[in-house]
Structure 1
Amino acid sequence: MSRRTTWLPDQHGAWAMLTVPFAAGTFLGDPTWLHLPLFVCWLLAYTTAFHLQQYVRLRRLSRNPRAPRRHVRPLLTFSTLVTVLGTPLLVLRPWLLVAVAAALPFFAVNTLYALRNRERALVNGLVAVVPACAVLLVALRVGGGTLAGGLAPLAACLLYFGGTVPYVKTMIRERRNRRYLYGSVTYHAGALVCAALLHPLWSVLFACFLLRAALLPGRRLRVRTVGLIELGCSAALLVMLLFSGV
């Protein structure tokens, strides 16, 4: 196993969820040089959390003592880097401590699910979506924007990325589960209504999200293809947020 494979989280769908809300918050406000170190710290915080949760999970469940140990070095490295790079940001923008504190309960819930080896649980995925999308407000505030101005874009991110949790399950792990399919389609129908209330033009894109949730499950698409479709949807969401005049 290569070092890259060992150190980088294998949760490929998470990268779009980490990037799109941050980018939206950055460019809906005024981009500054602080956004670059903040984004690096944001990714380092994610990798730190990932390796900590894997260490906790494998320490409890694995009979192979080497399994949890392979997460120790990346955990120490990423946690050190995020501390070194993040401390100056906290000095420059002390209010970031509030954002960190607000994310901790969600991190705690995800860690508890990891401890119980239930990381694939629906609730665990939905919990992880909240801080990943809420970083939009952080990036927006760093750029001088107001929290009120970020509420509608935040809602759009929550609606979309929240929907990816049940939808991806209908495409892979729960592709034969009709209840998941009905639940996913129902969720996306509700998300379409909410998006239309937030901004009439957003209903067009969310109608596309509803169609994919209703029509693609059962077509036996490759995991790679499913991932590429979601990358395209994430990019479309970002374009919508940046150019819809919110």
Structure 2
Amino acid sequence: MCEAGPVSTLRRWIPNQHGAWAMLVVPVLAGVLTGSPTWLQLPLFLAWLLGYCAVFHIEQWVRLRHASRNPRAAARHLRPALVLAGATAALGLPLLVAAPWLGVAAALMAPFLAVNVVFARRNRERALVNGLAAVVPACGMLLVALRLGGGATADGLAPAAACLLYFAGTVPYVKTMIRERNSAAYRRGSVAYHAVALVAATLLDPWLAVPFAVYLARAAVLPGRGIRVPVVGAVEVGCSLLLLGFLVGVYG
């Protein structure tokens, strides 16, 4: 049997949850670009991405230990989990020395991570609550990146709230496009949420009404049209970039 090449290994180590990457990247970039960029934000960003990959494999290891009868199914996630966790620590510990308050930020994120692990153990990773739990620490990274660049936490609350409003809405919306595409209740709930989010975002800043009106329109119009999954993903990438552009324009 031929050994797996580096490209094949990389594919196995990188999480296949493609929709999560915008949620991982946009809040951090917003925190960097609305404040004063500093070199410390680069290892923070890398540690954040590596940490996500490590947590993904930890969750898969936990899930498959209980959901699969094949012990190798869980075991194949153990090495990536350990290596990626070690890489995260190698980047994160020097940052923690430079900015000890990062320990408090990590502690605040821990309960949401615990929720994700519990849902993974129950083999219910696609649950609505689990998705929403993952959104909170991701959006909180805007505050972390901003403060690490010397910005005030208070200045990041509004853009972080805007991120939370948008990415929380992607959880039910994407379900209406894929797994719950035949559920009228999910569609109604998604549209209702986006209508409320539009009002809330407008209260944060009137300019935010523009992207959130787009998000409401796509939640109301696109479900039920048989749009392919790659197109759904491309639309969300565009929506995420739209949010980033407005956050930088409004709060930068």
Which category describes the TM-score, using the shorter chain as reference length?
A: over 0.9
Q: Is the 8 A contact 1:6 1:70 kept in 2?
A: no
Contact 1:140 1:146 in 2 (8 A): yes
Shift of 1:245: 4.1
What residue is the counterpart of 1:20 in the other structure? 26
Amino acid at match of 1:5: R
SS of structure 2 residue aligned to 1:201: helix
Code of the aligned partner of 1:52: I
Distance 2:218 2:66 in 1: 38
C-alpha distance in structure 2 between counterparts of 1:133 and 1:190, whole Å: 19
Between the two proteins, the alignment pairs up a number of residues equal to: 246
Could you tell me whether the CA contact under 8 Å between 1:18 and 1:43 is conserved in 2? yes
SS at match of 2:182: coil
Contact preservation (8 Å) 2:159, 2:251: no
CA distance in 2, matches of 1:74, 1:100: 21
Q: Show the counterpart of 1:208.
A: 214
**Runs of 4+ residues deviating >6 angstroms:** none
- Distance between the aligned counterparts of 2:207 and 2:97, measured in 1? 40
Identity of aligned residues (%): 61
Which of 60, 65, 68 is the equivalent residue of 1:59?
A: 65
State how 1:225-236 maps to structure 2 within 5 Å. Answer: 225-236=231-242
Amino acid at match of 2:222: L
Matched, 1:75 2:81: yes
1:4 Cα offset (Å): 2.2
Give distance in 2, aligned partners of 1:225 and 1:237: 18
| Structure 2 residues not aligned, in runs of 5+ | none
C-alpha RMSD over aligned residues: 0.9
Matches within 5 A, 1:1-246: 2-245=8-251
Distance change >3 Å, CA 202–CA 23, structure 1 → 2 = same
TM-score by length of 1: 0.98
**CA deviations over 1:178-227 (Å, ceiling 9, x no partner):** 00000000000000000111111110110110000000000111100000
Q: Identify unmatched segments of 5+ residues in structure 1.
A: none
Q: How far apart, CA to CA, are the structure 1 residues paired with 2:251 and 2:186?
A: 35
Contact kept in structure 1, 2:180 and 2:186, CA below 8 Å: yes
8 Å Cα contact 2:34-2:251 kept in structure 1: no
Report the TM-score, using the length of structure 2 for normalisation. 0.96
How much does 1:168 deviate? 0.1
